[in-house]
Amino acid sequence: MRAIWKGTISFGLVSIPVSLYPAIQREELQFRLLRGSDLSPVNYKRVAEKDGKEVAWDSIVKGYEYEKGKFVVLKEDDFKRVDVEATQTVEIMSFVAIDEVDPLLFYKPYHLEVGKGGGKAYMLLRDALNKTGKIAIARVVIKTRQHLAAIKPQDENLMLELMHFPDELRDKSELKTPEGKAPAKAELSMAEKLIETMTTPWKPEDYKDEYRAALEDMIEDKIAHGDAKPMKTAKAKRPSNVIDLVSVLQESLAASKSKRSSTSSSSKAKPAAKSKAKKPARQTKSRRKAA
């Protein structure tokens, strides 16, 4: 895994050498648009609205539409005039309590790996954040753009999470608020019991992208046999106009208890299973890695 950025964390007179690594990975299946008659790939052309003629790259400029149909052109020199200096520093501006920050502001996490000679200062910042329950609010330039970011303790390490600027969030005052009577005590009690019954230890491996797996299976089937057999899908439940909320909660609670009981008994009854041979990797996955 290659670092996408190297620099230092700076707070006060303390500097910590760090490297930045992506903390998430998500590769979408790529599809091409084809002509149905002969499966010829369809390409895009840059066409001017005025006359429908194709425009070469060297004839294209960037413009900002300040009124309908009126543009101001920005050249490369204009962008350079407002370019933010890339200091290779995560500059901590302040420390705040994490519960004071709207979770909607956080959007992209990165791992922060300590650099040579920075171990003690790195651990100092990590432990201080853990003890105070605070996060660091910082600014950092990655590539050519300045970002707002938070530094948080994450197990034995630190992580940096890019943030939206507060004025980027949509105003939620336009949303409709719930109407009607507040839930009765009996309804709230049943809902709490249902939540308790459905509460389990957090096991990340239990949560998979089922849609992507089914799509890959279908693609493999098509590669092997041509037209694939239709996939079995669960029928969507129709929403009902709930009148007696308590009875619906009771029914849900009974179903949840029954499911938990059957899962528990089946796991106890299973003998020690012999290790199964690993299923060969899907062709789509292997091809994607090779690419």
Give dist(CA 111, CA 146) in Å, integer: 18
φ, ψ of residue 13 to 5 degrees: the values are: -100, 10
| Structural domain spans, the chain | 5-23+83-167
* pLDDT score at 221: 87
Q: Any residues with CB less than 8 A from the CB of 40 and at least 6 apart, and which?
A: 34
What per-residue confidence (pLDDT) applies to 109? 96
Residue 99 is predicted with a pLDDT of 93
Query: For the whole model, what pTM was predicted?
Result: 0.70
- Which listed CATH number (1.10.3720.10, 2.40.290.10, 3.40.50.300, 2.40.128.120) goes with 5-23+83-167? 2.40.290.10
Identity (one letter) of the amino acid at 132? T
pLDDT, position 235? 64
Per-residue model confidence (pLDDT) at position 267: 60
Q: What pLDDT shows up at residue 84? A: 65
Q: pLDDT 10s per residue in the chain (291 long)?
A: 789 899 999 988 889 999 999 998 877 788 999 999 999 999 989 999 999 999 999 999 999 999 999 999 998 888 777 766 667 899 999 999 999 999 999 999 999 999 999 999 999 999 999 999 999 999 998 887 889 999 999 999 999 999 999 999 988 888 888 888 888 888 898 899 889 988 999 898 998 888 888 888 888 888 888 775 665 665 666 655 555 777 777 788 788 877 777 766 666 655 544 444 444 444 454 344 444
